Structure 1
Amino acid sequence: MSAIVYYLFLLFLLTASSPSLIVYATTDISDTEIQNVQQMKEYVISDSRLPAIQTDKYSVPAKITVITAEDIQKFGAKTVQEALQYATGIVMYNEVGNAFEHRVDMRGFNSTPVSSISVFVDGMRANEPSFNTINFDLIPFETIERIEVIPGPNAIFGKNTLGGTINIVTKTGTTKRQVSGEVARGSFDRERYNMNASGPVGDFNYYFNFTQESEAGFRDEGGGDVQRFFSKLGYRPTDNTDVNISYTYVKSHFSQAGASPIRIAENNPKANVSPGDFFDRENNVVRINLKQILPEGFTFSANGTYRNLQQASFLVSNPFALGGSFPTSTTAADTESWSGTFQLAQQSSPFGFKNEAVMGVEVTWNDFDSQAVSAFSSSFSDSSEDVLGLYVQDSVHVSSQVILSGGLRFDKSDIDFMEKTNPSLNADIDFDRVTPRAGITYLVTPTSSVYFTFSQGFRTPTVQEMFASAFTSNPNLSPVRSKNYEVGGNAKIGTWGDVAITFYQSDIKDEIFLTCILCDFSAFDGINRNLDKTRRRGVEMTISVRPVTYFDGQINYTFTEAQFRSPINFGSGTNNMRVADVGDTLPLVPKHRLSVIGNLRPVEGVTLSVMGLYVGSQFLQNDEGNTSSSLPGYFVLNGKAAYERDVPGGIFTAFLQFNNILDANNFSRGIYAADRIPGGDGSTVQFVVPEPGFAMFGGISYQFNAFPR
């Protein structure tokens, strides 16, 4: 593999430095040529914590993936996770057996049990404070303007970004007045009804959206429904002032079919061996964002958020129950959060050197109550968390071709845990750490660059990791820390293509794992522990082309190697499946992922899209020793046909998409466990989560634009 990586990087360097492929900036080019170069550049906004500075992607020492609203429409994505699934570095899988709650992580971290990425929506951190999970169904998906995927730890985004950051920006009503509606329906009784209205009114602008979506589900009792309401009111009295306030309401109910023994899943993928599982959520969010351009190149930005989330769940504990019994558990949680971020950015050119500086402070107050009742135990807790983050970042162009960047972040979390049923567990725990980031970028041309980045990251233990209701608590857990090295580059090929490639390595200290003896969830011997060393490293490459006006395509390839670098015994010592040695692969991390996307526009108004995704084999959960059969790799082929036409007063759109065209029986997730489902003999077998077979989804929409300003 190392030879392949070497030649890939050599190929990139040759491409980036070839005068026949790249538009060069020289001292004698014309003003028109300079303007053409500027138009060819693509910009990212996530190089500052809050949108303040637009930085062209060739100047940033990272491989940032930008997914626009237009891309989401071409993909036919119905959820945030589906919009992300083709990007490099992304790990996406179905753990709970419905179409709405897929898990997402990055760079070899697999969200088991805790996510190692942070998700931001219009400046608000969207991760749940109790377990750092991300409920993507609570994000107003239909209102997304752009998603920026930033891999690896980042000083300005702070803690819990070991894998990276997903930064989401929603739409505004600043362009034209319009009202639109959409009706769509498809396989498994999938239905979507969407209405929105937006536009400017003097110095004000507005954006409203309502969506209702439901599905019976591919699996038995594996469906759900969600209603979202989003409103945003903006005020722009001048070009220098932008204020908006938004309100989001989401109510969802999802059934969770979960994993089935392989003997059942292969013959009847729709089967649900633990019927009755569900999760309910109700979420209210109010956000205020301010951007004020000041003299001398300064920009002040601020974000304030209030959030209240209520959750309830019911779970049947199969397949881990003993003797064929079916114990159940119920949980209820109430989370209330206040947060604020205040940032000052400046763009200037002291001594003739372009400089971009950002500094800010982030404060958050979380209060989260939880009640859990099961056949094994009961827990009633009241927890709070105070979070402080201070960050600074600076990028300076020391010459026309060399850019030096550096950043520093201080994070402090104060967690106060109160267990009402067992006060002896009460604790007040502090975590704090300073994490740096430094990089150098060399502009080979204005639209091609190579870079090197070093960064550190950390993740704080969550309340649920430190204070486990069904297992032994461990309030002495240390934060997870990482050192990260990345080298790569970006290049534009003429006017028709782009290539980006990066090589990275993350050395992890004190990663947290659940270890136990029998691991049958009955001995109460489970405990979370820190492991000394693990490692992630890999290659991420994207090639985008548009050789002609009627076709564009993209290839994304990811190679990921996730390894234990210290030995660890997850079980009793006699079960080799649960004894990991140095060099063993972490479960649930596929080494290879490849996506191919093509969009053809044969005639005006018609777009034909095809998306193929290959995910390589992976070791199953509970096979840390890599001694048993792995989960086979799989391939999914999707397609979409869309038609758009201007009609009197507006725009008419129709689409028809096809998912899993080959009707493959795929499994995206698996775990080794004792088969005590009726008909099983208690032996350790694969439990897997089947993916849906062939499905269709189609709809029509109309956007009415006939409104005078």
Structure 2
Amino acid sequence: MHNRIRVGLCLAAGTLCSTTAIAQSSELGSIEVIGATPFSGSDIDADRYPANVQHAGSQDIADSETLNINQFLRDELGSVHVNDATNNPFQPDLSYRGYTASPLLGLPQGLSIYQDGVRINEPFGDTVNWDLIPQVAIDSIDLIPGSNPLFGQNTLGGAVSVKTKTGFTYQGRELELFGGSFGRFGGYFQAGGNDGTNGWYFAAQGLSEDGWRDFSDSDVTQLFTQFSTITDNGTLDFSITAADNTLRGNGAIPQELADAEGRDSVFTYPDETKPDMVMFNLRGTQDLTDDFTLAWGTYYRRNEISTFNGDGSEFGACEGAGNAGLLCEEEEGGGEEEIIYDDAGNAVAAGSNVLGGTQNTSQTKENGFGLNVQGRQDGVLGGSLIVGTSLDYASSQFFSQTELASLTDDRGTIGSGIISGDSLTGVSAHNSTASLFFQQRVPITDKLEGTFAGRYNRTAISLHDTSPDVEFAGANDDDEDDLSLSGDHEFKRLNLSGGLTYAINDRLTTFGSISQSSRAPSPVELTCANPDAPCRLPNGFVDDPPLKQVVTTTYEIGLRGGTDTLHWRASAFRSDNQDDILFIAAESRFEGYFDNVGKTRRQGLELGLDWQLAERWLVSANYTYLNAEFRDAFRSNSPNHPVRDPDDEDLPAARTQQVESGDRIPLIPEHLFNVGVDWLATDKLKLGMDVVGNGDQIYRGDESNTDSEKVGGYAIVNANASYAWTDRITTFVRVNNLLDSDYESFGLYGESDEVLEGDRYEDARRFIGPGAPFGIWGGVRIEL
């Protein structure tokens, strides 16, 4: 990558930059190139991009010594925040400018993620499995801000575009091994080369750890290989990505439990996710004339995900005289108790083997393929014109069930072998998106350039109910319970964007843009959108009333500039969502539904600075002020909200909260920052330190902002060092949370007294996601 960005990103998180990067820092003002679209053949000078785009290269990632792409984005780039909802380092909720890309069903997904032109948001729920991206194989990352329509569905707040290494961008062989805290051991091997025309690249990466919390061991295995050809007038690349992982992350715990048993304790367990993915990607470019380049690509992606979640139970012994000895669902809001039937339709007896716990399992099989073609003609209106089309098709098969269970003394679950008949849920989904897009860049004067772009999307989603039909013995027929998941939906929209960049002088550029993008509701949202029949996530769905697609408009203005040793940037942005989709909790803590809640807004100010002091010091800082708020009033269920009248908590009205315009959106901090310092102590020894943090956050469930308590802000200190023993052997150390600070990155409301015994847990409603404690890892990197 270009040294200006390499130095800037290393500074941003205090990572250890190579001697070469520091020695060549005089090129701080060199040109950086990003992709105007996710596909090949669309490179442009980033200084001409009318928004605060960020870019990083493979050397930045290697120097950072971060564990995975999530930590790298958080530590190195501006306006990025991570919520550790599961407390597994490979399963975070990553947020950029207040928009989320998460592996968890039930969150509004507002970022699109691309790997070599393939959108890797999962087709069933638009979720993102970060553990499937092989970090060692990444050649560059573009973080595209705003609602750029060229990046398609889900690009509400931005897009992350990852490009992988080839035998032309990486030559050599390298082995890395590391180990340390939390029983974590891992490493990678990569090799690549070319003969001038044909190139090859291979990478294998793996990790195993016990985890810093109880019952949270994980294993990650990733493979990547790519074959490339370069001719005088074209390129051809074929890659295979594969991963087979077992991730355990046991989620949030009541604050009282953390105080009593320690921050490494768990509420219930196990909580396991097993993705098994393979992707084939073929793409190429061809210069048909001196001014016209054709780019194309096609892919196939298969992902099978199984989950196993041990949880508490809302089932108990029936209290009615006519139901004595049977298992019933607890009454909600004064309603009548309901008998639980098994998958054969028989009433379940209330034995000790079915009291206290449940084991929720799901299997999701997703297959996707697609193709894209785009042409770039230089010289049109003095600039360049890109026109293209893409087609993506995916099928998903989902099945889930709940096994009745009991709890162990340490809150693990023991299955009874009895399956709840009501929990058997299956759905088949088919979704396709056809798109036409264009971008015209026009140099209006020698210093002023305009950009106009647009994309038309047509998304079709077909749902078919595959749930087993269980006849419950002795149960009354109820038409309201016969709600089918089947349905057909279609969403169409043309989104446009426009922007200007003006080079005030060689060292100062100003820019401004207006952009618009949209996302269609995902299949999982459409199957869980009925407030009268809420569902369990991710373990069950109901009928599919229509939802509107979300449309986001982003406005942005800014400045960027610098000298050979100083680079700075400043921008102000506002993103307005129309018909935003949120997951609304139902009266039961186990259930909810998706709904359009009207308008929301994210707006703020971004500042960044990269500065070389003398020849051996690098300093940087990034700061973001981010205001995220609801713009329309609505009522939201919050059955476990701690601020309510306990005498009325069983009444339905006491379970709702009034959300007003101007209330903050939960789990989006108002302040984000990172500061880093690097010192090249000698030609062989490098030292770095950084501080990463954010302000306080509203608890999820407190959309009304009526709770005076918040998830506290924090700042953690990280450090690292490396020593080059020879040109081929380097040892390194990475320390996270150097001061061993207690902090939380996540919080929501829950109910604990059904699982935890004792008076201290009777009103324990606030659950937290504790941050990882002090951890240290050391390793060696060898060039073979």
TM-score by length of 2: 0.81
Separation in 2 of the partners of 1:548 and 1:288? 46
Aligned-partner residue type, residue 663 of structure 1:
D
Measured against aligned partners, the alpha-carbon deviations of 1:279-318 in whole angstroms (never above 9, x if no partner) come to: 1011111111202223232211112111111110111234
Separation in 2 of the partners of 1:325 and 1:481? 43
Aligned to 2:397: 369
Deviation of 1:164 after TM superposition, in Å, equals 0.5
Equivalent of residue 634 in structure 1, options 714, 724, 727 = 714
Q: 1:319 to 1:443 in 2, by over 3 A?
A: farther
Structure 1 SS opposite 2:765: strand
Q: How does 1:190-205 map to 2 (within 5 A)?
A: 190-205=184-199
Equivalent of residue 513 in structure 1, options 564, 574, 582 = 582
Q: Contact 2:149 / 2:155 at 8 angstroms: preserved in 1?
A: no
Name the stretch that deviates more: 422-431 or 440-449. 422-431
Separation in 1 of the partners of 2:251 and 2:446? 55
Separation in 1 of the partners of 2:171 and 2:575? 48
Q: How does 1:658-697 map to 2 (within 5 A)?
A: 658-676=735-753, 677-679=755-757, 681-683=761-763, 685-697=765-777
Deviation of 1:53 after TM superposition, in Å, equals 3.8
Q: Contact 1:459 / 1:480 at 8 angstroms: preserved in 2?
A: yes
Q: 1:585 to 1:204 in 2, by over 3 A?
A: same
Separation in 2 of the partners of 1:409 and 1:645? 53
Question: Do residues 620 (structure 1) and 689 (structure 2) align?
Answer: no
Separation in 2 of the partners of 1:473 and 1:45? 43
Q: Contact 2:108 / 2:583 at 8 angstroms: preserved in 1?
A: no
Q: 1:576 to 1:336 in 2, by over 3 A?
A: closer
Question: Do residues 263 (structure 1) and 343 (structure 2) align?
Answer: no
Deviation of 1:482 after TM superposition, in Å, equals 1.6
Q: 1:266 to 1:149 in 2, by over 3 A?
A: farther
Aligned-partner residue type, residue 414 of structure 1:
A
Name the stretch that deviates more: 209-218 or 576-585. 576-585
Separation in 2 of the partners of 1:539 and 1:60? 18
Separation in 2 of the partners of 1:448 and 1:378? 61
Q: 1:200 to 1:517 in 2, by over 3 A?
A: closer
Deviation of 1:620 after TM superposition, in Å, equals 0.4
Structure 2 SS opposite 1:674: coil
Aligned to 2:666: 587
Q: How does 1:145-224 map to 2 (within 5 A)?
A: 145-174=139-168, 177-224=171-218
Aligned-partner residue type, residue 386 of structure 1:
S
Question: Do residues 119 (structure 1) and 113 (structure 2) align?
Answer: yes
Q: Contact 2:34 / 2:55 at 8 angstroms: preserved in 1?
A: no
Separation in 1 of the partners of 2:396 and 2:42? 35
Structure 2 SS opposite 1:370: strand
Q: Contact 1:74 / 1:609 at 8 angstroms: preserved in 2?
A: no
Aligned to 2:470: none
Separation in 2 of the partners of 1:678 and 1:48? 51
Question: Do residues 531 (structure 1) and 600 (structure 2) align?
Answer: no
Name the stretch that deviates more: 510-519 or 550-559. 510-519
Aligned to 2:344: none
Structure 1 SS opposite 2:580: strand
Separation in 2 of the partners of 1:607 and 1:578? 53
Structure 2 SS opposite 1:570: strand
Deviation of 1:177 after TM superposition, in Å, equals 4.3
Measured against aligned partners, the alpha-carbon deviations of 1:111-156 in whole angstroms (never above 9, x if no partner) come to: 5613210000111101001111110100111111111111111121
Separation in 2 of the partners of 1:466 and 1:682? 36
Structure 1 SS opposite 2:607: strand
Aligned-partner residue type, residue 188 of structure 1:
F
Q: How does 1:329-340 map to 2 (within 5 A)?
A: 329-340=360-371
Structure 1 SS opposite 2:463: strand
Measured against aligned partners, the alpha-carbon deviations of 1:1-31 in whole angstroms (never above 9, x if no partner) come to: xxxxxxxxxxxxxxxxxxxxxxxxxxxxxxx
Separation in 2 of the partners of 1:450 and 1:88? 19
Q: 1:177 to 1:163 in 2, by over 3 A?
A: closer
Structure 2 SS opposite 1:327: strand
Question: How many residue pairs end up in the alignment?
Answer: 658
Separation in 1 of the partners of 2:542 and 2:719? 48
Equivalent of residue 326 in structure 1, options 346, 357, 364 = 357
Q: Contact 2:310 / 2:359 at 8 angstroms: preserved in 1?
A: yes
Equivalent of residue 442 in structure 2, options 386, 396, 407 = 396
Name the stretch that deviates more: 616-625 or 71-80. 71-80
Deviation of 1:672 after TM superposition, in Å, equals 1.3
Separation in 1 of the partners of 2:616 and 2:652? 60
Separation in 1 of the partners of 2:433 and 2:98? 27
Deviation of 1:675 after TM superposition, in Å, equals 2.1
Aligned-partner residue type, residue 636 of structure 2:
F
Equivalent of residue 489 in structure 1, options 545, 559, 571 = 559
Separation in 2 of the partners of 1:127 and 1:79? 18
Aligned-partner residue type, residue 345 of structure 1:
R
Equivalent of residue 82 in structure 1, options 54, 57, 71 = 71
Aligned to 2:94: 104
Measured against aligned partners, the alpha-carbon deviations of 1:194-225 in whole angstroms (never above 9, x if no partner) come to: 11111113421110111111111011112311
Q: 1:364 to 1:596 in 2, by over 3 A?
A: same
Aligned-partner residue type, residue 191 of structure 2:
A
Q: How does 1:562-581 map to 2 (within 5 A)?
A: 562-571=628-637, 574-575=653-654, 578-581=657-660
Measured against aligned partners, the alpha-carbon deviations of 1:481-521 in whole angstroms (never above 9, x if no partner) come to: 122211112112x2111111111111111111233452422
Structure 2 SS opposite 1:623: coil
Aligned to 2:523: 463
Measured against aligned partners, the alpha-carbon deviations of 1:260-279 in whole angstroms (never above 9, x if no partner) come to: 10011234011011111101
TM-score by length of 1: 0.89
Q: Contact 1:45 / 1:52 at 8 angstroms: preserved in 2?
A: no
Aligned to 1:599: 678
Aligned-partner residue type, residue 189 of structure 1:
G
Deviation of 1:175 after TM superposition, in Å, equals 5.5
Q: Contact 1:487 / 1:502 at 8 angstroms: preserved in 2?
A: yes
Measured against aligned partners, the alpha-carbon deviations of 1:212-263 in whole angstroms (never above 9, x if no partner) come to: 111110111123111111111111132x321111111100001121111001
Aligned to 1:232: 226
Name the stretch that deviates more: 133-142 or 322-331. 322-331
Equivalent of residue 279 in structure 1, options 248, 273, 277 = 273
Aligned-partner residue type, residue 582 of structure 2:
F
Equivalent of residue 295 in structure 1, options 289, 305, 330 = 289
Q: 1:576 to 1:441 in 2, by over 3 A?
A: farther
> Unaligned regions of 5+ residues in structure 1, if any?
1-35, 705-709
Equivalent of residue 408 in structure 1, options 433, 454, 458 = 454
Structure 1 SS opposite 2:499: strand
Q: Contact 1:105 / 1:163 at 8 angstroms: preserved in 2?
A: no
> Unaligned regions of 5+ residues in structure 2, if any?
1-24, 317-329, 331-354, 403-419, 468-481, 529-534, 638-650
Q: 1:602 to 1:472 in 2, by over 3 A?
A: same
Aligned to 2:324: none
Equivalent of residue 70 in structure 1, options 59, 64, 69 = 59
Separation in 2 of the partners of 1:504 and 1:39? 26
Deviation of 1:689 after TM superposition, in Å, equals 1.2
Name the stretch that deviates more: 686-695 or 47-56. 47-56
Q: 1:532 to 1:349 in 2, by over 3 A?
A: closer
Root-mean-square deviation (CA), in Å? 2.1
Separation in 2 of the partners of 1:202 and 1:486? 43
Question: Do residues 251 (structure 1) and 244 (structure 2) align?
Answer: yes
Name the stretch that deviates more: 594-603 or 110-119. 110-119
Structure 1 SS opposite 2:357: coil
Separation in 2 of the partners of 1:555 and 1:400? 32
Q: Contact 2:28 / 2:564 at 8 angstroms: preserved in 1?
A: no
Q: 1:176 to 1:215 in 2, by over 3 A?
A: closer
Separation in 2 of the partners of 1:320 and 1:400? 69
Identity of aligned residues (%): 24
Separation in 1 of the partners of 2:315 and 2:686? 51
Deviation of 1:349 after TM superposition, in Å, equals 6.8
Structure 1 SS opposite 2:663: coil
Structure 1 SS opposite 2:35: coil
Separation in 1 of the partners of 2:186 and 2:713? 31
Q: 1:243 to 1:388 in 2, by over 3 A?
A: same
